[in-house]
Amino acid sequence: MRAKRVLVTGASKGIGKAICERLQADGYQVIGVARTRPEQLPPGAEFHALDLTDNAAISAFLAGPVMAQPFYGLVNNVGMVPSGDLQQVQHDEIYRAVQLNIEVAIRFTQALAPGMAAAGTGRVLNIASRAALGKQSRTVYSMTKAGMIGMTRTWALELAAQGVTVNAIAPGPIATDFFASVNDANDTRTQSLLAGIPLGRAGRPEEVAHAAAYFMDERCGFVTGQTHYVCGGLTIGAA
């Protein structure tokens, strides 16, 4: 039996890389896309170097041979994290973040969802963020990740009749190079954030990947439109 195909954006490092590794280990045929090729790929995985800030390159990819066969799953993971207080927000930063964090997810979902619908089954997973609930210095990032949660709920309603589920994962602080690059360890706000995690530590990429594996599983066909926080209890601790 042919392995189910799953496409993952932002697949070269951090959470995206961990999701690729987990899904490939679970028996899916993983096709990863990102600007930079990872140093190592899971055995059997496929990777395509693609600048996801380049709309023309995306169009060419989505019209290319990779799309000749339908996909069972899609993980919309790629994203950027603009940082700065309200008065520091730059207009061009808004549009770049919307293009990468929102538009790319829309375009890939538009391209892959018809094949899922034709098959009568499919999984779309959007990687949002706990920051959608609010985080200082994250005006633009929070806006885009809240938008992703809203799209998740809307797409879940639109695609349910075709047997396609759409869910979101909203990670809290996850120990990746990406997190470290936008959260200064010496900043009191970063220290306060980490100190507020009830489990007493940052998460690991493989813990987010485990949640992705749950939503991707064919036995998870009665769960849709949901946002799952992988945050060490931070969201309830803050409440």
Which residues are part of the catalytic machinery? Answer: 141
Integer Cα distance of 143 and 39 in angstroms:
32
Q: What is the side-by-side strand order in the sheet with 73-76?
A: 46-49, 29-34, 5-9, 73-76, 122-127, 164-171, 227-230
- DSSP label at 12? S
Residue 90 makes CB contacts below 8 A (sequence gap 6+) with 84
Among candidate residues 239, 236, 230, 234, the one with its CA nearest the CA of residue 15? 230
- Assigned token pair, 122: 């499919």
8 A C-beta contact, residue 31 and residue 46: yes
Evaluate whether 130 touches 229 at the Cβ level (below 8 Å): yes
Distance CA(122)–CA(215), nearest Å, equals: 11
Residue 46 contacts residue 8 (beta carbons within 8 Å): no
